[in-house]
Amino acid sequence: MWDQQKIQDFQTDLLDWYYKNKRNLPWRADTDPYKVWISEIMLQQTRVDTVIDYYYRFMEEFPTIQDLAEADEERLLKVWQGLGYYSRARNLKVAANQIQADFNGKFPDTVEGIRSLKGIGPYTAGAIASISFGLAEPAIDGNVMRVISRLFGVEEDIAKSSTYKIFDRILRAIISHEHPGDMNQALMEVGATVSTPSATECPSWLKPFCYACAHDAHDKFPVKTKKAKPKDIYYLAAVIENNAHEHLLIQRPETGLLAKMWHYPLKEIDVKEYQALKQYWQKEDTNQLTLDLVSEDEAPDIFSEWPVVWQKRHLGEVTHTFTHLKWHILIFYGRTQNDFSPENGKWLDEQSFSTLIFPKVQQKIIQQFNKTHKVR
């Protein structure tokens, strides 16, 4: 650890750099805890440049905690659409109702109160407590762990939960009690713009404090075990159109991955069957404009449950990676004269798609379908 003089020097140099170099981000315009909260939740596993437009739209739609608490869930998810990790949006609404019920509509101003809210962990609580209420609480995210591990030579694996205590102890020792929110944001800013994963050294003002620079070991920190490879899951997507030019869409269950969201019917199959269909149902003519139909005896068993005539080719595939899963989806198109209605299904024309909440993977399927399907 550093002595008190070195800590003071670091605080001064860090904050001077931050005030001169910080990015102009909309949630930094003030310290309103509601705005800080929304921005921090949005920024989880999402790029800053992606979040900016979503943040503006969210604040226009739900300018107060009460507006969020009273929000229609479908409207909330529609505003969130494209940001992914939709449980974040649902947790926001639950937490807004907690604030209304348990804190008389005022955002809690203690760490314990903030942590009691749905979806708020140590990092988000620390960010809100320090930025909005001036509490000397650390906000430890991936950027901050990378910076601190290089400054102090932390050799413990940051992927292990036990290592968090080391960073917490260091940050509590060096955080500014006069400007804790600015210091937390400064450390995040250093990690995002200066001490990036690919950085090989620190700028001149930071070098005197950096263990990694002194030992020519920037690339050694942080120590982190590789994540397990996402599990591959294989699906067929069925784009089915009726005589009214409507498409069949299915709503997912109320819990689990992509809860209550809409997509084309998906059928999970094993990898061997997926690869066989991918090869057998290839588009034979790159300029094919006619609907070459699959005969009844050619149709795979996986399609037999629906009264559908299938086009004799697939329309390509899309992939989408979640945290622990990677979906591989092969797309097929078919027509039906029957308005059959599977459980949780509905028929809609493409102009009405904007009324539903589509996950990113469904948007990819629609884009691939529109790009490759020539028959109208």
Residue 34 forms part of a structural domain? yes
Residue 170 forms part of a structural domain? yes
CATH code at 256? 3.90.79.10
Number of structural domains (the chain) is: 2
Active site residues per annotation: 40
Chosen domain end from 220, 246, 276: 220
Same domain assignment for residues 181 and 246: no
Q: Which residues contact 179 (CB under 8 A, 6 or more apart)?
A: 11, 15
C-alpha–C-alpha distance, residues 350 and 142, integer Å: 41
Strand partners, 235: 268, 329
Chosen domain end from 220, 244, 270: 220
Same domain assignment for residues 163 and 248: no
CATH code at 143? 1.10.340.30
C-alpha–C-alpha distance, residues 152 and 170, integer Å: 9
Q: Exposed, middle or buried: residue 15 (CB in 10 Å: 0-12, 13-18, 19+)?
A: middle
Give pTM, 2 decimals: 0.83
Domain holding 211, by residue range, is 4-220
Residue 134 forms part of a structural domain? yes
Same domain assignment for residues 42 and 85: yes
C-alpha–C-alpha distance, residues 235 and 278, integer Å: 11
Q: Taking the CB of residue 317, how many other CB atoms lie within 10 A of it?
A: 18
* pLDDT, tens digit only, all 376 positions of the chain: 899 999 999 999 999 999 999 999 999 999 999 999 999 999 998 999 999 999 999 999 999 999 999 999 999 999 999 898 899 999 999 999 999 999 999 999 999 999 999 999 999 999 999 999 999 999 999 999 999 999 999 999 998 889 999 999 999 999 999 999 999 999 999 999 999 999 999 999 999 999 999 999 999 999 998 888 999 999 999 999 999 999 999 999 988 899 889 999 999 999 999 999 898 887 654 444 445 555 555 555 556 677 888 887 889 999 999 989 999 999 999 888 877 878 889 999 989 998 888 999 999 999 999 988 754 4
